[in-house]
Structure 1
Amino acid sequence: MSKSEFSGHLDKMRIHPAATVAYSLVLNNEEYPINDFLGKSLSLLWEGDIHCRACNRPTNKSFSQGYCYPCFTKLPECDSCIMSPEKCHFHLGTCRDAAWGERVCFNDHIVYLANSSGIKVGITRMKNMPSRWLDQGAAQALPIARVATRRLAGLVEDIIRRDIADKTNWRAMLKGDSPELDLVSERDRLKEHFAEELNQLELEQGPGSITWLTNESVRHFNYPVIEYPTKVSSHNFDKTAEVSGRLMGMKGQYLILDTGVINLRKFTSYNVRVTVNRES
């Protein structure tokens, strides 16, 4: 066949670590590897419907990457503390779902440094390494501390981000890899720079509540990109239902086409038909 076609409700792309990281589109929970589609003509057509990723009801608008409005206002995974973990309110007895909070937020978390569009600090659950870094398009990553709860990870991050960014500049990330950084030296500098505040935080949370990971090595990642754009323009299904172009690469949760880029994670739960011309 000269063409491949598949459809379903989008989820974020699965990214698997390898010498060159391997990407798969995810439609109706089924994976479709796409590294071999590099250089081919690709069309993505939003077929007009969105179904909530939690309750599966149809919704006219996606909230928090794939939820209907009722789920967005009720589910713990859509609460504001997910984006700002230092604002966790479990200890106040106001968690939207205490069982969910105990399962997700009260386990080991990692504070890390990454280089995606320059240095940044972030947090993730241990089980989400290295997928968290790959989702962000990081070329380098270094775990720097381990803590027992999500809230404590957020408090450590909150201190460190006074000196460095906690967000990725997605346009810069999609123009190519940032120059390599000495993340080990940056870890040591930040630990020393904020020693007083970090020591006070550990004292408040209990001795040993923050474990500094001084023996970790820097991870490096290579993304499947034929050519990076010199000017980044983005596609949006809400404005144009069909997105097409030659697939030039994948980085983070973005497809890089010769016509622009699209963040597939943003359109989680959109029903999309994907067509690939294998002979192009």
Structure 2
Amino acid sequence: MIYQGVLKKMPTENLETVQYYLELGSDFLNMNQLLEKNLELNFVHYQCLSCGLDKEIYRQGFCKSCFFDIPSAGDWIMRPELSTAHLGIADRDLDYEKSVQLQPHIVYLANSSNVKVGVTRKSQIPTRWIDQGAHEALEIVEVPNRYLAGVTEVALKEFVADKTNWRTMLKNEIEDVDLLAWRQKLKAHIPQEALPYFIDNQKETELHFPVNKYPKKPKSLNLVKSQSFQGKLVGIKGQYLIFEDETVFNIRANEGLFVSLSIVSG
């Protein structure tokens, strides 16, 4: 069976073990069921997630012209402290920006490769943590808009990391840490405008990923360059497919690629 379609971030479900799904065209695949199967991936062409044209992907699944034009790729996406919808000031499309920015946001701690601080919409918990490959996470602050979450993150990243080392995350070289203690330690550095929204009654969330074998030296697959890849799927963590030969493929980083996927054997 051959499946074809444009890559998009895998939807997930937080059960006893995280469940991953891949949408390709009209097909909806449970990727957990493909563990220990030999898969073949082929690059077919580009397909921008916005305009749908066969144009080289620039960032976030969009071609260059769309990336610098559409409201869902504004700078405030990656830098929430730049959000201005709460002031009634538009970046690219005020109605869209209000719909995203003016809703509850969470500032959190996650342990994926190390303890890091991050921001996400409340509706994206625990999806955001799963996408980052965090095996434990904890809310710090719940604020009413993206701007407050952003300025809180900026303040806290002076004292804790804000990036994940993807290689360390995939190798599973992670130490359990006391996120509750970290939350209390960071409380003193939360900006005054966000301090009333501090959360002190939430417990850590633990996540368990479907990985049979972690890579010791993960090597990233560039499917556009190689055009084709075949290997046995042995794990999924974050948005990465992990193969037996230690090749890893980041679905999220390859959004906008139209691919074919086939199960070779097993």
TM-score normalised to structure 1 length: 0.90
Query: Aligned pairs, how many?
Result: 264
Matched, 1:81 2:76: yes
Does the CA-based 8 Å contact 1:14-1:23 persist in structure 2? yes
1:65 aligned partner: 60
State, as a whole percentage, how many aligned pairs show the same letter: 36
Q: Deviations over 1:45-99 (max 9, x none)?
A: 011x11111121221x112221122211111221222111112244483410000
Matches within 5 A, 1:153-168: 153-168=149-164
Cα distance between partner residues in 1 of 2:47 and 2:133? 27
SS of residue in 1 equivalent to 2:68: helix
1:43 aligned partner: 40
Q: Tell me the CA shift for residue 177 of structure 1.
A: 5.4
Could you list the structure 1 runs, at least 4 aligned residues long, displaced by more than 6 angstroms after superposition.
none
SS of residue in 2 equivalent to 1:24: strand
Q: Deviations over 1:20-45 (max 9, x none)?
A: 11111121364210112111111110
2:170 aligned partner: 174
Q: Deviations over 1:166-203 (max 9, x none)?
A: 111001000015121110110001113x16xx22x34x
Q: Deviations over 1:117-174 (max 9, x none)?
A: 0100001101101100000000001111111111110000000100111111001000
Matched, 1:12 2:9: yes
2:256 aligned partner: 269
1:99 aligned partner: 95
Cα distance between partner residues in 2 of 1:68 and 1:114? 31
Cα distance between partner residues in 2 of 1:18 and 1:29? 24
2:123 aligned partner: 127
Runs of 5+ in structure 1 lacking a partner? 203-208
SS of residue in 1 equivalent to 2:130: helix
Runs of 5+ in structure 2 lacking a partner? none
Pick from 222, 225, 230: which aligns with 1:239? 225
Does the CA-based 8 Å contact 1:121-1:166 persist in structure 2? yes
Q: Tell me the CA shift for residue 274 of structure 1.
A: 0.5
Cα distance between partner residues in 1 of 2:23 and 2:112? 24
1:206 aligned partner: none
Q: Tell me the CA shift for residue 277 of structure 1.
A: 2.9
Matched, 1:190 2:176: no
TM-score normalised to structure 2 length: 0.94
Aligned-residue Cα RMSD (Å) equals 1.6
Pick from 212, 217, 220: which aligns with 2:206? 220
Pick from 132, 139, 144: which aligns with 2:135? 139
Cα distance between partner residues in 1 of 2:49 and 2:141? 32
Cα distance between partner residues in 2 of 1:5 and 1:177? 35
